Structure 1
Amino acid sequence: MSYNSNSEDDPKYFASSYVMLRPHDQLRFWEVVKLVVSADLFRSNFVECPEATFVNFSRRRIILISLLAQKLLQLLAHPLQVLGHLLELALNLFSSHRTVFSLFLHLLRGKDVMPDPRSAEYLSITGHVDKRVQLDGTIKRHDNKYNAALSVMASKAVYENVACVESMVKNHWKMELVACGDFWNDFQGKPTTQALVMLDKSEEKETYVVAFRGTEPFDADAWNTDIDLSWCHLPGVGKIHAGFMKALGLQKSVMGWPKQIRRDESRPPEAYYAIKDILKQRLEANDKAKFLVTGHSLGGALAILFPAILSLHDETFLLDRLEGVYTFGQPRVGDNEFADYMDDQLRHHQIKYYRFVYGNDLVPRLPYDYKNLMFKHFGRCLHFDSSYECKMVEDEPNKNYFSPLAMIPMRIDAAWEIIRSFIIGFKHGSDYEEGWLMRICRIGGLIAPGLPNHLLQDYVNATRLGSLLSYLD
């Protein structure tokens, strides 16, 4: 397989330069040594790139770390899956019976106490951290922050199973669930990307919402996507994190991003192509309908890459109907050239792009600098402090998370958030009370500050309590 071509008229033309890591190939000891001592990546069997691609030692070291981490995740994928399933099962088991005594009583009576993972009541670990399923009734459709509040709840819902998502969207939000499921990753050879499409319909307007799922704690495939440091340089677009592109629909077999692909009915579709087709069909039936794209964490990266690929394919019809992109805890996805390209495209098509960053959230501050790759954020950053006060900034404060100067202030913030978790319910009402699982995560923030800030609890609070009205238009 090759991504390169000498002619832009060639339909196989895709990237002017690229580095594709191949963690599924066997890593032999001498291959690792070769990567360490040789600056020519082309000679590495588990790195695919154009001939005579030279990188310095620091970059090779980072590539090797990424490969080894992906290999380790592959080895741990099944144990992680089992551990995640058991933890999820335990949380749902105790949640459905409320007390150990109730559970014991049901066991004595011979009742079936095991929750069904496919039921609408069965919540993911993310769902147990923040159990809110209702939209904020005080935020109406005409409010400036309505789209943000709806987007973060859609980003939260997509972590759940199909029955649970359907219950939330139809029963609680009174909206239509258009599509929900797993989508194909051509490089991982399995459906590892999750997304939903729903319709928010009122007398005034119709708005479709596309939400991509972020990284689940025990999902090795999603973690592999996050730490895959493959990249492609698209002519006129810039360098993009290819791990995210693979999750969205980058093609392995037909080289890159063709505008259309032949559908393989034996497996699930790729997210980009399936969602694009759904939106085209729905929006062509109503010339006033528009759509939003959203996601948390990895989902936020896919959310902003979705219009990027639409632009690459000159999908003007869809871009003109895209009302906004709302991301929460989104990592960086491209370099300076890509940032400039997307700024131009968003401005040209009048697409609103709001990137929400809460406190010291680690993920938006990664990747910071892959030795001259310089991934960069763009668009409007709404940064919230621990009081949910909002400031619009070009980039989040302390954009390099690993700065030693930030260690003490971050731990002070983490300590305050532990205290706040016990009083926020009294101040803002029962809807903001935090459970024991979230409080455990808060305590963990003393050791790894910034990790609890990435959870959706604070992003939901930010859209509801944050001072947003002066920023959102």
Structure 2
Amino acid sequence: MAGAGGGGGDAGDGFYSDFMVLRPDKGGLYALFHLMWSCKVSENAAVDCPAGTEMSDWRRRWAVLVSLVAQVLMLWVKKPMALIGRATEYWMNLVNENGGVVLVLVLRALQVFHVSQLKPSHGNNPVTAILPTPLSEFQEDPGSSLDYRGFPGRGSADTMVAHAAISSYLGVAGAAQAVFPKSTGMGTWFYTGGFFPPSKQVSVANSFMKALGLQRHGGWPKDVVEQDPRKPFAYYAIREALRRFLSENADARFVVAGHSLGGALAVLFPAVLALHREDAVLARLQGVYTFGQPRVGDESFGRFIMDACLGKPSRYFRFVYCNDIVPRAPYDDSALQFKHFGTCLYFNSLYTGQVMHEEPNKNYFSELTVAPKVVNAAWELLRSFLIGYVAGPEYAEGWLMRLARVAGLVLPGLSPHSPRDYVNSARLGARLLRQMS
């Protein structure tokens, strides 16, 4: 179990001693080569961990190396990708504001018509956004155990507390940082979760915890005294709003749902409620539903949360669509030790569902599945032209989604992660859901 007070790294001061944090801002060539050839990771400038930490397993060092390289690349492309995103979003709205016809837009730009060109702004209603425009912006502890320098300085979440439902999901900030395993006597990765009861030795993805509001000093205190009221920590703000809502509505129940990284947070939210013994709130939890959720913890964490609040009967349902790569990451193997838990509702590319313990091809990368994935991606591209006629006009896909399907021919695991496929799975695969109700 992690103890208070750390060794040589800043991340553990006053909280835990078993941790590892990657610093892509310090990830130079020497640091990368050092990871390949030296087991003394505490001497690496790009790795923040207790003094004297060694990692003798070369597989784990390579996992750290791959993660660090990926984060360095993300630092390099952050600004150009943000510029491309803003330009794409502006263009989509510009076309929409001018009737949805590119020719009309061009003619107006050339002033052939005596009609002023309409320019989109976020003051217009509605304005299309590639990422959800946050209704509430939540704070991250800038001094907590993950360093987000070079990435967005906050997590953003859309949170709705209405009709006894909470829907919480994060934008790109939560995806920016990942921490990879440290070799410990207990075989845990990241650090052992020192904020859980001593009888529950679990490991949890620290990046997700930080996005939810993990504190550097004290982990998950029952209450946080000092926080910006305009940007409160996500967990505490949602918990207080939920308490108020339930106290005002005696018969209400609530669900927690999220897509992708928001799905990870949807699972962690009731785990922290259980940690704080919010029994009155958890008693009114109807269920947790996640869509395209990555793995968030090890097998011990799965047992902890299922025993504490989500099992008997199961109240946790994990939707997985076809070849979506995100639910198959991070790896479930002896080196990384990530594990899914709960009930898996798997849907194929015909939106036919079945109940499974684990989705097929659980770690995604396999030479035997390359050809079937490409064939399936080609079918999804063809389906994008047909589904509006077969299932109804409300299912018709636009040009942007079709471009994503084309990209899926090269990277078959990316386009299946779109919320559209998960919405279609829930609607067109409703027979399975009715059978379970």
TM-score by length of 1: 0.79
Superposed CA offset, 1:76-135 (max 9, x none):
22221111100111111112321123223443235242111343311122xxxxxxxxxx
- Partner Cα separation in structure 1 for residue 137 and residue 73 of structure 2: 24
1:183 aligns with 2:142: no
- Structure of greater relative contact order (alpha carbons < 8 Å, 6+ residues apart): 1
**Higher mean Cα deviation, 364-373 or 396-405?**
364-373
- Partner Cα separation in structure 1 for residue 311 and residue 421 of structure 2: 32
Q: Measure how far apart 1:459 and its partner are.
A: 0.7
Aligned-partner SS, 1:469: helix
- Partner Cα separation in structure 2 for residue 233 and residue 78 of structure 1: 34
Aligned-partner SS, 2:360: coil
Q: How does 1:269-418 map to 2 (within 5 A)?
A: 269-347=232-310, 352-369=315-332, 371-418=334-381
Q: Which runs of 5+ in 2 are unaligned?
A: 6-12, 142-146, 182-189
Instruction: Describe the shift of the 1:16–1:28 C-alpha distance in structure 2 as closer, same or farther (beyond 3 A).
Output: closer
Pairwise CA RMSD: 2.5
Counterpart position of 2:180: 229
Counterpart position of 2:167: 210
Counterpart position of 2:8: none
Counterpart position of 1:153: none
Instruction: Describe the shift of the 1:228–1:99 C-alpha distance in structure 2 as closer, same or farther (beyond 3 A).
Output: farther
- Please say if residues 214 and 297 of structure 1, whose CA atoms lie closer than 8 Å, have aligned partners that are also in contact: no
**Higher mean Cα deviation, 387-396 or 102-111?**
102-111
Q: Measure how far apart 1:309 and its partner are.
A: 1.4
Q: Measure how far apart 1:350 and its partner are.
A: 5.1
Amino acid at match of 1:302: L
1:245 aligns with 2:247: no
Q: Which runs of 5+ in 1 are unaligned?
A: 7-11, 126-158, 163-179, 201-206, 216-220
Amino acid at match of 2:265: L
Amino acid at match of 1:262: V
1:75 aligns with 2:76: yes
Q: Measure how far apart 1:15 and its partner are.
A: 4.9
- Partner Cα separation in structure 1 for residue 65 and residue 432 of structure 2: 42
Counterpart position of 1:54: 54
Superposed CA offset, 1:124-159 (max 9, x none):
22xxxxxxxxxxxxxxxxxxxxxxxxxxxxxxxxx4
- Please say if residues 193 and 213 of structure 1, whose CA atoms lie closer than 8 Å, have aligned partners that are also in contact: yes
- Partner Cα separation in structure 2 for residue 277 and residue 103 of structure 1: 47
Instruction: Describe the shift of the 1:161–1:193 C-alpha distance in structure 2 as closer, same or farther (beyond 3 A).
Output: closer
Counterpart position of 1:93: 94
Q: How does 1:454-469 map to 2 (within 5 A)?
A: 454-466=417-429, 467-469=431-433
- Please say if residues 35 and 41 of structure 2, whose CA atoms lie closer than 8 Å, have aligned partners that are also in contact: yes
Aligned-partner SS, 2:288: strand
Counterpart position of 1:64: 65
Q: How does 1:411-430 map to 2 (within 5 A)?
A: 411-430=374-393
- Partner Cα separation in structure 1 for residue 266 and residue 425 of structure 2: 19
Amino acid at match of 2:406: I
Greater strand proportion: 1
Aligned-partner SS, 2:350: coil
Q: Measure how far apart 1:74 and its partner are.
A: 2.2
Q: How does 1:97-136 map to 2 (within 5 A)?
A: 97=98, 98-107=100-109, 108=111, 109=114, 111-125=116-130
- Partner Cα separation in structure 2 for residue 459 and residue 228 of structure 1: 28
- Partner Cα separation in structure 1 for residue 243 and residue 416 of structure 2: 36
Instruction: Describe the shift of the 1:214–1:381 C-alpha distance in structure 2 as closer, same or farther (beyond 3 A).
Output: farther
- Partner Cα separation in structure 2 for residue 119 and residue 339 of structure 1: 45
Q: Measure how far apart 1:472 and its partner are.
A: 3.2
- Please say if residues 59 and 370 of structure 1, whose CA atoms lie closer than 8 Å, have aligned partners that are also in contact: no
Q: Aligned to 2:409, which of 439, 446, 460?
A: 446
Aligned-partner SS, 1:447: coil
Q: How does 1:11-22 map to 2 (within 5 A)?
A: 15=16, 17-22=18-23
Amino acid at match of 2:136: G
Instruction: Describe the shift of the 1:297–1:348 C-alpha distance in structure 2 as closer, same or farther (beyond 3 A).
Output: closer
- Partner Cα separation in structure 2 for residue 317 and residue 457 of structure 1: 35
TM-score by length of 2: 0.85
Q: Measure how far apart 1:394 and its partner are.
A: 0.3
- Please say if residues 271 and 309 of structure 2, whose CA atoms lie closer than 8 Å, have aligned partners that are also in contact: no
Amino acid at match of 1:210: S
Instruction: Describe the shift of the 1:348–1:445 C-alpha distance in structure 2 as closer, same or farther (beyond 3 A).
Output: closer
Instruction: Describe the shift of the 1:408–1:30 C-alpha distance in structure 2 as closer, same or farther (beyond 3 A).
Output: closer
1:160 aligns with 2:161: no
Instruction: Describe the shift of the 1:241–1:395 C-alpha distance in structure 2 as closer, same or farther (beyond 3 A).
Output: same
Q: Measure how far apart 1:49 and its partner are.
A: 2.8
Superposed CA offset, 1:131-188 (max 9, x none):
xxxxxxxxxxxxxxxxxxxxxxxxxxxx4325xxxxxxxxxxxxxxxxx222122243
Aligned residues: 403
- Please say if residues 346 and 354 of structure 2, whose CA atoms lie closer than 8 Å, have aligned partners that are also in contact: yes
Amino acid at match of 1:101: L
Amino acid at match of 2:148: Q
- Please say if residues 40 and 54 of structure 1, whose CA atoms lie closer than 8 Å, have aligned partners that are also in contact: yes
- Partner Cα separation in structure 1 for residue 116 and residue 367 of structure 2: 55
**Higher mean Cα deviation, 304-313 or 33-42?**
33-42
Superposed CA offset, 1:375-411 (max 9, x none):
0111010000111111000000111211111111111
- Please say if residues 106 and 113 of structure 1, whose CA atoms lie closer than 8 Å, have aligned partners that are also in contact: no
Q: Measure how far apart 1:339 and its partner are.
A: 1.5
Q: Measure how far apart 1:261 and its partner are.
A: 1.3
Q: Measure how far apart 1:371 and its partner are.
A: 4.7
How high is the sequence identity, in percent, across the aligned residues?
Answer: 40
Instruction: Describe the shift of the 1:269–1:414 C-alpha distance in structure 2 as closer, same or farther (beyond 3 A).
Output: same
Aligned-partner SS, 1:294: strand
Aligned-partner SS, 2:238: helix
